[in-house]
Amino acid sequence: MSQFWEALFSQTAGAIKPSPIREMLHLIRQPGMISFAGGMPDPAIFPVEQFNEASSILRSSGRDVLQYGTTEGYGPLKEFLATWTAPRMGRVLKAEELLITSGSTQVVDLLNWALVDRGDVILVEEPSFMGSTLNMHNHGARFETLDCDGEGMIVEALPAKIEALRARGETIKYIYTITNFHNPLGCTLSLQRRRALLDVAYRYGVPILEDDPYGYVRFDGDHLPTLFSLDDRGMVLYAASFSKILAPGTRIGWCAGPAELIRKMTVFKQGVDVCTSVVAQALVYEYCRLGHLDAFLPKIIAHYTKKRNAMEEAFRRHLPLDEVRWVTPQGGFFYWLETPNIAATDLFDASIEKKVAFVPGHTFYVGQGGIHNGRFCFTFASSEEIDEGASRLGQAMRERLS
């Protein structure tokens, strides 16, 4: 029977790649395992009571929200977002510039449907979020990569990349960047590089997908202007999500961009899922309307600041500091560790034996790389688990070094 279906699979199905993190969940769920692997929020901070209060909208408007909705999104939620996001977007958005999606990862999928033909090139940071790059790969895209440092994408390398690709006759569709508290790197694109990136986009006519799922979860310093707010030529599509500022189970994301692009993505969404769950959108809207988003977001930020600080202190306490390097994230969910003298896959195997999990760095590369790196999420584990996990990790490192 399996051979029957194998013979019917499409070329796309034959080339599709699974998520390495999803594939390793059976390891993470072992009894006693301390997980720094999955990029999951802490359920202890979920605003359960406040979200339950928002369910009152089902009593008052149930006949509307239980019906099919418009593909563009639930009107009241779009109106709220148009105003609420204005400080980061630089202005109040128009309805036709906004699309509600089933999580921010769907923004990448819809953009790829709208722009990408098989063989087209997407310029991506390396390493980068595998959920996005897997989707790009599954749409038939090819990649040209850009290195990063502590200030994000090294933008000065971009013009030469674009010119070389075009000299070979390649078609470049867009630049993908995670500007704030990068997944997996934890770094933030500097203001100087944000302006330089837009200059490159204008000069070469290559648009930008600005992925910003962590942007509101800043611990230190001031918010930097989004690329979208700096853009005056309609070259940026901005993507964000409620997953990190409310709860991932809502599966509500959104994007903002030029009306003609949003319209084309909306038409593709009609064939993908008709509309994002109206019930979920209505619950999120009511939660926001009641003031819970603004009231609860500072609590989420304070909670994760403590977690970040706990991991920073635990790493400094337990790891062999001469053998490991990292950039302290100013927000978001992740540390990216470099162990120049230890292979990440070896460290992963040793760590799993000690019941602590992380994601080896090579899984975030579309090419070769990350063999001495790993991503560590600090938001899910408790502070006590963070300290114990770092202790076990330090033991595993010392054993490998000896």
Read off the pLDDT of residues 317-340 as tens digits, 9 standing for 90 and up: 999 999 999 999 999 999 999 999
Asked if residues 221 and 207 have their Cβ atoms less than 8 Å apart, the reply is no
Dihedrals phi, psi of 146, to nearest 5 degrees: -125, 130
- 369 touches 127 (CB < 8 A): yes
Quick one: CA torsion of 92, 93, 95, 100, rounded to 10 degrees? -120
> Do 57 and 65 contact (CB within 8 A), yes or no?
yes
Cα separation of 105 and 95, whole Å?
21
Q: Which residues in the chain come in under a pLDDT of 50?
A: none
Q: Is the dihedral of CA 136, 240, 261, 272 positive or negative?
A: positive
Class level of CATH domain 49-290: alpha beta
In order of 23, 288, 309, the CA distances from 282 in angstroms are: 33, 10, 35
What are the DSSP E strand ranges found in 157-271? 172-178, 208-211, 236-241, 253-256
Tokens of 80: 């709220």
Amino acid 14: pLDDT: 82
| Tokens encoding 365 | 């590369």
DSSP annotation of 156: G
Q: What is the pTM of this model?
A: 0.96
pLDDT for the residue numbered 188: 97
The whole-number pLDDT of residue 17 equals 76
How many residues are recorded in the chain? 402
Q: Give residue 49's pLDDT.
A: 97
Q: Which residues of 20-36 are buried (b: 16+ CB within 10 A; e: fewer)?
A: ebeebeeebeeeebbbb
- What does the pLDDT read at residue 349? 94
402: tokens are 């000896």
pLDDT of residue 286: 98
Contact 340, 323 (CB under 8 A): yes
Assign a CATH topology to domain 16-45+295-401: Aspartate Aminotransferase, domain 1 (3.90.1150)
Q: What is the pLDDT of residue 38?
A: 86
CA–chain centroid gap for 157, Å, is: 23
Cα-based angle 251, 129, 193 (whole degrees, multiple of 5): 110
Q: Where in the chain is the domain with CATH 3.40.640.10?
A: 49-290
The candidate with the shortest Cα–Cα distance to 95, out of 109, 77, 113, is: 77
- 122 by Cβ neighbours in 10 Å (0-12 / 13-18 / 19+) ranks as buried
What span, in angstroms and rounded, lies between the C-alpha atoms of 397 and 29?
A: 22
Among 342, 345, 352, which residue's Cα sits nearest to residue 389? 352
CA 153 from chain center: how many Å?
15
pLDDT at 317: 98
Do strands 236-241 and 253-256 pair parallel, antiparallel, or not at all (unpaired)? antiparallel
Give the model confidence (pLDDT) of 207-231 as tens digits. 999 999 999 999 999 999 999 999 9
